[in-house]
Structure 1
Amino acid sequence: MPRRLTPVPAPADPRALLPRLRAALDGTAPLAVLPAGPPAAVDTALAALRPGEPLEDGADLVVVTSGSTGGGRGVLLPAGAVRASGEATLRRLGGPGAWLLALPVSAVAGLQVLCRSVLGGTDPTVLAPGEQLAAAVARMPAGRRYTALVPTQLRRHLDAGPAALRAFDAVLVGGAATDPGLLARARSEGVAVVTTYGMTETAGGCVYDGVPLDGVRVRVTEGVELAGPTLALGYRLDPGGTAAAFAEGWFRTRDAGSLDGAGRLTVLGRLDDVVVTGGVNVAPQAVEGVLREHPDVADAVVFGRPDDEWGERVVAAVVAAPGADPDLAALRPWVAGRLGAPAAPRELHRIAAVPTLHTGKPDRRGVAAALRVGH
């Protein structure tokens, strides 16, 4: 009998997932977790997971990506890959410890916090919505303590006072480009920040502070490529997408990078134009399409720009419709209501026309460079 995938909603208390997670890590029952909301995100996840369809051989966890190309993908993770990632992480950090969960468990970073707790034989503590970090730390057991955050969370907790962050033996930071100034500030405050690089297809972060975890291999061809025991099998019911991204044991990321003489990786940026803001991937094409539907906008081009708070912010350059005067106060809620708040532009420019490449596609990088001159 083929195995069937039955996604489960993210529970109010993520620790309720632990029995299901243990079964998935043992290879006895597959697991996929739906996001807590909004409804559009749940619908996207269900479309990627396609419950009821037979599950591919070898897959034990299916995790949906954030949808950087306009729709999430179900990533097929074998239990062995998740275990390899969790065990290598614990070795790199200095051994098992108590984990604080501060990320959604429908995403690989949050799910891995639970996995590492299971593998380390510890009970996770959950940061409640609106709870102060210090209060959550006070509920954690003594001994080694770890957590995982996106850059926006790190900044906000630093602003609230670094004492609670200093209680952790390691604060993993990933999910978006982290501003060097933020990292320097955190480290100067005595916070044990560890930058992580990876994605759902690698069972989460697999390169820590530029150094691959045990067994992970990195090479740079047209972009960064990753191999090793943490790799996914491919994409749910998408053999074409799997073949394009996975080949001969390597996963082709869409990131540019470089390796120094010691093999330390520096990620230089994405090969495509996706804007990663607050750990959320935003597709510029989708934002442009929604902006063009606004009565005050004739045309638009969207790109990202570094932001101290969000890692990157969404920037829109618009061509005004005749007689119109578009502004952020009108355009932000227009986009947020259709694509979600992270996609709403935080900076607006007016241009006479959108330049295009020879392919006819908008020249986002050219617009960004031209606007940067006077910024």
Structure 2
Amino acid sequence: MTSARRLRPLPVPSGARAPEILPDLRRALDGTGPPLLPLPAGRTASSETARALGAGEPLGTGEDSPEDPTALVMPTSGSTGTPKGVLLSASALRASARSTHHHLGGPGNWLLAMPAHHIAGVQVLVRSLLAELPVRAVDTSEGFHATAFAAAAEEVLATPGRHYTALVPTQLGRLLAPEADPRGTRALRAFDAVLVGGAATAPDLLERARAHGVAVVTTYGMSETAGGCVYDGAPLPGVRVHVEPPEPGGISLSGPTLARGYRAEPDTEAFRDGWFHTGDLGQWRDGRLDVLGRTDDVIVTGGVNVAPVAVERALTTHPGVREACVLGVPDAEWGQAVTAALVTETPPPTESRLRELVRTRLGGTCVPKRFGVVDELPLRGPGKPDRRRLLELFTGSPAELRGLPTGPEPPMSEDEPHGLSR
């Protein structure tokens, strides 16, 4: 590497055509090709991201290495909405892929179900390259649904060896929904492991998946760690996790999957002393990492801190709540009011039942003061609720939100299998 290498945009097709980028990805990993900036093909915003991250320009000092070339610059807005370019070396991507296969019991055949311009999708392709096995992608031309997933899965599952796929919680929920094509659930059961990450997964959804015989593995990680680096609460080989005391506290990550830093941000505070400071809040429970969401998502209501994830977990134990996103809405009396956006089943739960459920589990401070029902949660990136958009709905577009029934419901019995009865 005698001269600075230029960052090349890589338009990534959606759905079944995503594996077309495999040759470019292979060359980026072995250093014979340029560093790549994966972007969704055909989107206007992609050109803006490319300009912001210096596509076509040379990588700067400290952004590349002849011994370990930077293979990818992954665009990520994090929680700010401002594009950042995560500098991922070839060794970090390989370490992540190999650690995943080691954890799952060996290399296998992968089904790509997520966009390949995001790190979780890219890693499915990297794992397939390292395993020297073909990869198939789900046809999402008509959106993600169980019928298309099952069709693609059948081809993957027909090949010998182990079989894996990776999903976000929303996709898993759609495949398990009562109204979905049952072939989707049957296909899920046939995989040796189904990685689920990208956003917090409700315990109720995990229980339903496991009750259906799905080998779910929860993952925690981000572009800055080359994808998931903590599986089922345990760090992958070589990965170190630090939680700032007193718990719950900020999570920091280190190890062989760590990125070099951000493009054109050599002095960022996020990467310090060999650690990435995630901005996430977590605690250790029985030796496993429990992630409680972003530290900047914590709601301060009446001077008391409320972790949205804890309230979301409580709400989704009700069989009438499919998904929940909890956020703090400005309030003159409380500073912030705990507010919940829900995707509900039919019939929906009543406000009184949900308030009592949260009060019983978490205390009165955590009880939402307002609920809004939407057909589906707005997302930013794969599986991550768009809290800013929801805040806009609660503060400026209340007509787009539906309310919950206010009448009484029959009492729940103590032994009712919450969430498994959907």
Match of 2:254 in 1: 227
C-alpha displacement of 1:25 = 1.3
Tell me which residue corresponds to 1:15. 19
Give yes or no for contact 2:139–2:149 (8 Å, CA) kept in 1: no
Aligned residues: percent identity?
53
Q: CA deviation at 1:311?
A: 5.4
Read off the aligned partner of 2:8 and give its amino acid letter.
T
Question: 1:233: how far off?
Answer: 0.2
The yes-or-no answer on 1:51 pairing with 2:55 is: yes
Q: Note the C-alpha offset of 1:136.
A: 1.1
Which residue is 1:69 aligned to? 80
Q: Which runs of 4+ in 1 moved over 6 A?
A: none
1:250 equivalenced with 2:275 (yes/no): yes
CA contact (8 A) 1:177 1:312 kept: no
Choose from 235, 255, 263 the match for 1:236. 263
Partner deviation per Cα, 1:324-365 (whole Å, 9 max, x = no partner): xxxx9xxx9xxx8xxxx95543996579xxxxxxxxxxxxxx
Per the alignment, in what secondary structure is the counterpart of residue 237 of structure 1?
A: coil
Change (3 A) 1:145 1:252: same
Matches for 1:208-227 after TM superposition, within 5 Å: 208-221=231-244, 222-227=249-254
Q: Which moved more, 1:109-118 or 1:136-145?
A: 136-145
For 1:261 and 1:153, the matched residues in 2 are separated by 29
Cα distance in 2 for residues equivalent to 1:35 and 1:309 = 29
CA apart distance, 1:132: 2.3
In the TM superposition, 1:1-375 aligns within 5 A as 1-12=3-14, 13-29=17-33, 30-36=35-41, 38-40=43-45, 42-55=46-59, 56-58=63-65, 59-129=70-140, 130=142, 132-140=148-156, 141-159=159-177, 160=180, 161=182, 162-221=185-244, 222-241=249-268, 244-260=269-285, 262=287, 264-273=288-297, 306=312, 309-310=322-323, 312=325, 342=386, 344-345=389-390
Q: How many residues align?
A: 303
Q: Which amino acid aligns with 2:28?
A: A
Identify if the C-alpha distance between structure 1 residues 315 and 155 changes in structure 2 by more than 3 Å, giving closer, same or farther. farther
Deviation at 1:54, TM superposition (A): 1.2
Change (3 A) 1:69 1:128: same
Inter-CA distance 98–248: structure 2 relative to 1 (3 Å threshold): same
Report the AA paired with residue 235 of structure 1: Y
Output the aligned Cα RMSD.
2.9
Task: Give the alignment's TM-score, normalised by structure 1.
Answer: 0.74
2:77–2:83: 8 Å Cα contact kept in structure 1? Answer: yes
Is the CA contact 1:5–1:51 (under 8 Å) kept in the aligned structure 2? yes
Structure 1 residue aligned with 2:304:
none
Give the secondary structure class of the aligned counterpart of 1:253: strand
Structure 1: runs of 5 or more not aligned: 276-302, 320-327, 352-375
Q: Is the 8 A contact 2:97 2:123 kept in 1?
A: yes
Q: 1:37 to 1:182 in 2, by over 3 A?
A: farther
- Structure 2: 5+ residue runs without aligned partners? 300-307, 333-340, 342-373, 379-384, 397-422
Encode CA deviations 1:245-270: one digit per residue, 9 max, x unaligned.
111111101111112463x2111221
